[in-house]
Amino acid sequence: MINQFGGTNMTESTNNVFMDYREWVAAQPMPPGKRKALLAGLAVFAANGYDGASTQQIADAAGISQATIFKYFKTKRDLLTAIVTPIITNMFGAYQSSFVDHLPTTDDLQTLLDYVVTDRLHFLQVNADAFVILFSQLLTNRHLREEGFTKWLQPDNGNAAVNKAVGTFKHLQQVGQIRPEMTVGDVIRAIAGPLFIYFLQGHLLGQLGPTDTARDLAVLKRTIYNSMATHPITGGPAK
C-alpha cells in the first residue's frame, strides 16, 4: 500500500508499477475527469504505445470527452508526461529501497549476483509494459532524467538505499571479490547493461530462437560475474 503522496516518495509498494500508480492517482486531490484521463491514458499507452494511442481512444476508455482531456492536458505528450513523472520522481525510491533492503549480507559475489539478477529481471518482466513507456520518456525528456535519476541515484543526496548498495560493493571489493580498479559506475554498467539488453530483446525485438529462461538466467549471471570478478569463471556451461 502507498502511504505517502504528492512531493514525497512512496515508502511502500507492491513492486507493480501500474498497481501502485493507480493507487497513487486515487489518493490525489484532483477533479474526477482528470483522474479518469490519467488512469485511462496509462492503460492505452501501455497497450498501444505513445504513437499508436490517440486522445479519442483514451477518452473512450475513460468514459469522458476529448474536450475533458484537453481541459487538463494541452497535448497528448503532456498527458503522458503527467503519467510517468510521479512514477519516476515519487515511486522509484520505494522500488529502490525494497530491492536494496533485501541485499544479502555476504562475502561472495556470486551469492549477491544471484539475488540481484533474479530480482531485477523479475521486476522488469512484471512491469514490462510500464518500462517500455518509461524508457521512451527517459530517452527524450532531459528534465525527467535529471529530476528522477539524479534524485535517486546519487549517494551525496542522502539516499540511504544508494549508500547501502555502495557499501555492499565496496565491501566485496575490500575482500577481493570485485576487481580493485572497478568504480561504482563500472559495476552499475556491468549489471544493468546485460539485464536491459535481455529485457528489451524479449519485449521489443523478439526472441532470436527457442527460449530457455533458466539457461538465459545462468548465462546472464556468469557474464556479469566475469565482467566484475577478481577471479572469473572459465570453462564449462553456465549453471
Rank 129-138, 208-217, 225-234 by mean pLDDT and report only the highest.
225-234
- Reported as a single tens digit per residue, the pLDDT across 95-128 is 777 888 888 999 999 999 999 999 888 888 888 7
- The domain made up of 1-83 is a member of CATH 3.40.50.150: no
Which of 71, 99, 89, 126 lies closest to 7 in space, CA to CA? 89
Question: What does the block give as the cell for 8?
Answer: 514525497
pLDDT on residue 233: 81
Type of residue at 70: F
Largest Cα–Cα separation, the chain: 64
Helix axes 76-86, 17-27, angle to 10 degrees: 100
Is 34 a residue whose pLDDT tops 50? yes
- CATH 1.10.357 residue ranges of the chain are 102-239
pLDDT on residue 174: 96
102-239 — its CATH code?
A: 1.10.357
DSSP-assigned states of every residue in 116-141: HHHHHHHHHHHTHHHHHHHHHHHHH-
Q: How far is the C-alpha of 192 from the C-alpha of 186, rounded, in Å?
A: 10
- CATH 1.10.10.60 residue ranges of the chain are 1-83
Q: pTM of the predicted model, to two decimals? A: 0.75
